[in-house]
Structure 1
Amino acid sequence: MSAAVSQKYGPPFKTNWWVRAGWTLAFLYALYAANYLDVSWVRFIQGLGNGGQFLSEMVPIDFSRWKLLVENLIETIEIAIIASAFGVFFSLPIGLLAARNLMPSWVTWVFRTFIALCRSFHPVIFAILFVKAVGFGPLAGILTLIFASIGFIGKLFAEAIEEISLKPIEALRASGAPFISVILYGVLPQVLNRFIGFSSYQFDANLRNSTMVGIVGAGGIGGTLFAAFQRFDYDFLATILISIIALVMVSEFISVQIKKVFQ
C-alpha cells in the first residue's frame, strides 16, 4: 500500500540539494575547525585519565571549614535575592515599554536597545567592569546580576506582552479607562503566570551566576572556590561544589512550589 502511495504521490520529502550541500559544507568545516583547534581523540583519552586523577584527589571531602562555607553561601544567597528582586522590579516597566503592541516605535526602540545591551555581555564581563567601578565585594555582584536579569526577563516579558489578546485592552480603552488601569486589568492578568515563571527561573540563574562572578572578586562563594582551586585544595573544593549543587536543588524545589501556588 505504501509503495503504491509513494508511486502515486512521490516521496514524502522532496530532495533539496542545496540543503544537502549546506550540511556537507557544515560537516567539512567542523572537521577543519576540529583539526585547527587541535581537537583529537588522543587528547580526549588523556583528559579522561587526568580527570579521574583530579576526582580522586577530591576524596575524602573536607568539612572542617564549614563556618567559612556557610558564610560564603549566605552571602551568595543574599546577592542572588537582592539582584533578582531589583532585576524583576526594573524589568517590569522596561519590558512593558519595549512591547511593540502597546508603545510607539520610538519608545520601544530605546528600551529594546537597552535590553540588548544588557544581553550583549557575559555576567563575568559585567562583573569585571563593576569590580573596577565600585571595587571588590557583593555590590559588584549585585549590580552585575541586576543587569543580567534585565537582559533576560525584560526581553521575555516584552515578548509575552506582544503575544497577548488585545480585545480586553480595546474594551478598557473604549470605556475610558486610564493607562494604568489598562495595564493592571488588561495586560498583567494575561502574563502574570509567565512572569512568575520567568522570575523564578532568573532567581535560579542568579544563584548559579553569583557563584561564578565571585571568581573575579564580585562577592559570593566563587572567590573561595577559585582560591581553593589555586591552592590545589581539592578536598575543600569538592565540599564547595557539593554545597552549590545542594543550594541550586533547594532553589529549584522552592521555585516549583511557588509556581504551584500561582497556578
Structure 2
Amino acid sequence: MNAAFRWSGLEKAVLAATLAYVAWSLASLDVSAERLAAGWEQGARFIGRMFPPELNKMDELWQGIKETLQIAVLATVVGLLLSLPVGLLAASNLSPKPLRLAGRTLIAACRALHPVISAILFVKAVGFGPLAGILALVVATVGFVGKLFADAIEEISPKPIEAMRATGASFMGVVLFGVLPQVAPRFVGFATYQLDSNLRNSTMVGIVGAGGIGGALFAAFLRYEYSFVATILATVIAIIVVGEVVVNAARKAMDV
C-alpha cells in the first residue's frame, strides 16, 4: 500500500471511536430498519392523500405568498442596514478591543438562535403575525451578514485607510472612502445570498405563527386538508426556485 494512504494509530483510533459513537447513537435513539420501513409505508399513504392538489383556496394561498415575500424583503433590507454598523463595530482593524468584543458578542448571539426559535420568542413578545417573522429574520440577517461583513473588512488592504488617517480624515470619511469601496462587491454578494435565505426561512417561521405561507401550511395540516398541503408545498418550491433564478441573474449582472 502507498505510504500516503496508510492510517496512523491515532487516525484508526479516532475512526473506531467515531463508528462506535454512531452505533451507540443509533441504538439509543431507537433508529431501526423496522421503523424506517414503516415510515416509508406511512409516507407513501400520506403522499397519496395529497393528490390531486386543491386549487379552490387561491385567496388564502395568495395572501400567504404576499406575506412571505413581504417578510423576506423587509427583513433583508432592515437586517442589511443594521449589519453595516455591526460589522464595522466588530472589525478588529477599525474598532478598539472593547467595541470589537461587543460587536462580536452581538453577532454570536444572533447566530446562536435559529430563525424558528427567534420567531417563537418574537411571537411571545409582539404577538402572532408578520411582524414577528420580520424581526426573527432581521436577527438571522444581522448574525450572518454582520459576521461576513466584519471578516471582509478585516481582510482589506490597510494602505488606503492609513493614507486617509494620515491626512486627518474623520472616521466616517475613512469608512466611506477607504473601507466601503473595497468591500462593496462582497457586501452585495452577501445581500443577494441573504435575500435567497430569507425567502426560504420566511416559509418556516410562519409555522410558529409568524406570518407568511408557513401559517397557511400549518393550518392546512391541522384541518387534514392534505390536497391543499400539496398545493402550498408546490407553491413554496416554486417561490424558492424563482428566487434562486432571480438572485443568480442579479449576481451575473453585477459581475458584468
TM range (shorter): over 0.9
| Matches of 2:185 and 2:47, distance apart in 1 | 42
Q: Which ranges of structure 1 fall in alignment gaps of 5 or more residues?
A: none
Look up the match of 1:245. Answer: 237
In the TM superposition, 1:5-44 aligns within 5 A as: 11-12=3-4, 15-44=7-36
Cα offset, 1:115, TM superposition: 0.9
**How big is the shift at 1:120?**
1.3
State the partner residue of 2:102.
110
- Is residue 150 of structure 1 aligned with residue 168 of structure 2? no
Aligned residue for 1:75? 67
Match of 2:183 in 1: 191
Moved more, 164-173 or 233-242: 164-173
Of the candidates 75, 86, 89, which is equivalent to residue 78 of structure 2? 86
Indicate which of 211, 216, 224 corresponds to 1:224: 216
Match for residue 57 of structure 1 among 42, 49, 59: 49
How far did 1:16 drift? Answer: 2.2
Whole-Å separation in 1 of the counterparts to 2:7 and 2:141: 44
CA deviations on 1:149-174 (whole Å, 9 max, x unpaired) are 11111111111111111122222222
2:119 to 124, 127, 130: 127
1:136 to 128, 133, 136: 128
Cα separation, 1, equivalents of 2:225 and 2:135: 30
Cα separation, 2, equivalents of 1:14 and 1:179: 55
User: In structure 1, what residue type is equivalent to 2:168?
Assistant: G
Displacement after TM superposition at 1:14 (Å): 6.0
Shift of 1:96: 1.0
Where do residues 195-210 of structure 1 align in structure 2 (5 Å cutoff)? 195-210=187-202
Residues 233-242 or 188-197, more deviating: 188-197
RMSD: 1.5
TM-score of the aligned structures, taking structure 2 as reference length:
0.95
Q: Does 1:181 align with 2:173?
A: yes
User: Separation in 1 of the partners of 2:209 and 2:225?
Assistant: 19
Aligned to 2:204: 212
User: What residue is the counterpart of 2:158 in the other structure?
Assistant: 166
Letter in 1 for 2:210: A
Matching residue of 1:235: 227
Distance in 2, Cα, partners of 1:257 & 1:181? 33
- Measured after TM superposition, the shift of residue 258 of structure 1 is 1.8
Give unpaired runs (5+ residues) of structure 2: none
CA–CA distance in structure 2, aligned partners of residues 13 and 241 of structure 1: 46
CA displacement at 1:17 relative to structure 2: 1.1
User: Would the alpha carbon gap of residues 261 and 177 (structure 1) be closer, same or farther in structure 2, given more than 3 Å must change?
Assistant: farther
* Secondary structure, aligned partner of 1:61: coil
